[in-house]
A and B are shown apart, each in its own frame.
Chain A
Amino acid sequence: MNTKEFKEKINEKLNDEIQKKNLTKFYEDYPKARQKAFEGYDFEQLRNSVKNIKQNTVDKLEELADKFQKAVEKNGAVFYRAVSDKDVVDYILKLCKEKDVKLVVKSKSMLSEEVELAQHFKEAGIESQETDLGEWIIQIAKHKPSHMVMPAIHLNRQQVADYFEKQLGKNMKPDIEFLVHTARAELREKCLKADLGISGCNIAVAENGAMFILTNEGNGRLTSSLPKTHIVLVGYEKLVESFEDAIPILRILPRNATAQTLTSYVNIILGPSQAIVEHTDGTFSIEKKELHVILVDHGRIEMARDPIFKELYQCIRCSACTNVCPVYALVGGHVFGNIYTGGIGALLNAFIGSSQTANQIQNLCITCGSCTQVCSGSIDIPNLIIEMRKKNIEKEGLPTIPKVVFQNIISNRSLFHNMLKLARLGQKSFKNGQFIRNLPLYFSKYTKDRSLPAIADVPFRDIFDTILQKPAKNQEKIAFFSGCLIDFVYPETGEAVVKSLNALGFSVEFPKDQTCCGTPMYLTGDKESAKKVAMQNLEALESIDPDYIVIACPTGVEMWEKYPQFFRDDPKYLQLAQKYKNRIREYSSFVDEQLNKQNIKLNSLKNNGIATYHDSCHLKRVLGIHTQPRDIIAKAFNTNFVEMEHADQCCGMAGSYSLKFPEISKELGDQKHKSIIKSTANLVYVGCPACMLQIKGLIDKKGGNVKVMHIAQLVNEALKENK
């Protein structure tokens, strides 16, 4: 799919009212239900066990595979290792031929989707029938699954009724119970007649060959029981070493997937059991079943050997990540994914699925971090997505425009800063021109749904020297690292940061040689340019050697914390990067700590009106800072501090993302705007300049008597009369 087609698909999905309704409802319901399901369990401890179990699997992959094979064979099943998708298909088709199979029933298996088994059956003239209701619906609708656990979540009852009508040639009413019972009768017939059953497997135990199959519908039991022959498809990532390793997975998987304690059925298969065989004379006999177990590689071994992406083995396909993903909620799994859906889908597809679409899908991630918080295997999905982008750039190079900007402009500080200053002079005439559009802060289509901020007349770096600071009470020296947005777009925020820190008794310095933190380059995968600016920043700071580096921008904090990664082979810079990593302080948490420690009271700002707070994705989920800014606001506004709905949902600003997918960014923005208006606040505080840019623009374009400010502005104002 080329970019244009992909964009068209995005637009189509954004306008798919049915899918949107279903997904929005789910997105709203899921977190509460999930939380309830985990009551009485320590989620962090559970997922830590899962992580350890799967890391052990990766470390001993070959050993466990061998053990599993031995155990399965000892249990009396036929074992086969498939390297490629073709191996899987060939083996199954050959077996079908030997057994003269006419009808196959399948219970849910992502692996069978991955190797496109249904397509191959069709070509071979073998009837294959999905028995999971959702899978069957999409089978007859000829769709791909749009969700890993609920494959037909994009459809409503009317659509399902229409598909059933077409398939069965009977009249259907759009009544869910009726549709389910129609499916029961239809699928039961097929299960009774089938010669072969195929199922996936959720957990495969190396030490005894046990295979766990979790289903709610009970189709797993029927497909494994009724036909004489049964094939289980097992991906390497399903292996665990010991029988007890299944316990944490049983505890976490159903809770995270569908907020259930346990699926209605868990089948543990330990070998071929019995089958009933009916004879033509009307008699029947009980015979031994034939059980085949196929252990499938198809990119999984390469994945295990990759030092970074082996983390993907920690995925147990619970889809919790997808359920909380704001981008998924907007566009669904046909755009954001391909068989494997959501951010994890983008990653898995690069190894075990369709790698061509994987790149496009990755770009959809706004790296908001919601998924990582709920992931059963503690996978840092956004981080892996950034790693994947890096990998792609190493392979294919950057697209031309960012390349020019990153490698020639931003990584050259004086050129970059001069250009920004020039941009201010020329912003009227340049606003729609190439020049501004190519700067990381200025996005071509960005102006359509929110106003573009103007570059400030005087950047913060030129204002800093004019700020009069009181003599410091504290010995500790603070350096302020502003980042581009505060420096060139919101200098008043910079001013507030410096003045408020000074009011707290610190002297603040602003090393002038500091430059862009490197985030725009890092996010698009251009590590070299990011490294270059990191070196400049480290040198700039080293000239002052401060006790703290205060940053009022969460992505800036994150970037600084990553600096050591860039210099693994460069001891000089590595030492610097590590030294300063420990001295980084995020503004709002630092201020909150100081207020409490020094027992300083904020003046009441109640007369300013009603205040609310928007959680920046990075501030809340990556840095874990969300109580501190609230504490500060409450200190100044008391009962006039109100929470908006979904305060921690992404505002739609995600750096250059807004350039690539302005449509999605717009939807998220619309939702944020609604919550703000509904909250009745006239002041919105944020802890992140990028969110400020987005929300200011939203208010400006869509209306509302609301002022958007950085929390530093609050602190500064509330400390003023304290002097």
Chain B
Amino acid sequence: MMPASHDQSPSLAVNGGPGRAGAFGRWLGMASLLAGLVLTVPPVTVPAPAMAAASRVSSQVERVARGQYLFDAAGCFGCHTDEVHGGQRLAGGRALDTPFGTFYPPNITPDPIYGIGNWSNAAFIRALRHGVRADGSSLFPAFPYTSYTLMDDGDILDLKAYLMTQKPVAQPNRPHELKDPFGWRVLMPAWNLMYLEVGPLDTNPHQSAQWNRGQYLVRALGHCGECHTRRDWAGGLDQRQMLAGNPGGNGGAGAPNLTPEVETGLGKWSEADLLLLLEIGLKPDGDVVGGSMAEVVRNTTSMLTLADRKAMVAYLRSLPPMVFPHVEPHR
């Protein structure tokens, strides 16, 4: 069970080995859900060899740089910053309107009181891996931990290192406005039992390193499936139709099918077509991509290296072709 990105992510040295952490994490997740207890994940131990101060500094710099790249690849900025109203970076997000009500993503700056400045590494990993907050209560999947759970520990900690370099902002969180029963956090452990497949993502040994990297970028970081997959009544992703499109998404306009199916999917798109879309948002028909995808391109896919965009495309083109799911008529 190696994290898919291990070749790109020298952060492996940071934790005791992803395999162990993953299995242990899985067990932990189950246990904490079932018992409803606040379990403490053992703090990830950073080996402390006698490093020269200089190399320590430079490794910290590298780690923050890796974290920044992951931050872009995972698209944390857009939800947690209220750009439209001139909100401060990461100090709390713009309103996310959903069928379940309106979510206001919280402050994730390093502010110790209003942000996540006091969160331990273990708590941060737990939030992304299991959707559990520092105080042990459950997070809602409006925060796409259902995808971030697939990240490996090293990457999660690099991401945290980067977040901790951001400007702290003392801004309280705005409470969500949700419809019952969707606003009941106590129900989330049950939801997680039904829908959460705890990561990290396994490497597929039958596929190339590029394919595995692509899978990691699409499924874990890019959380493409969160929009491009159909959901059921409780907001759970239909795993059998992963990435085959979501007729209910995008304000009813639908989020398209990303599998290489010829009629309803990307079967007619060439590799170059897909690369250009992910880089600048231009579609083969000469139109520019719109909806929430415009923002994904701006904040996420355009920020990646060409090698990473190629990996994503290779992965998407290898998916089993599936037909865009039809919409159930409203009754």
- Do A and B form a real pair? no
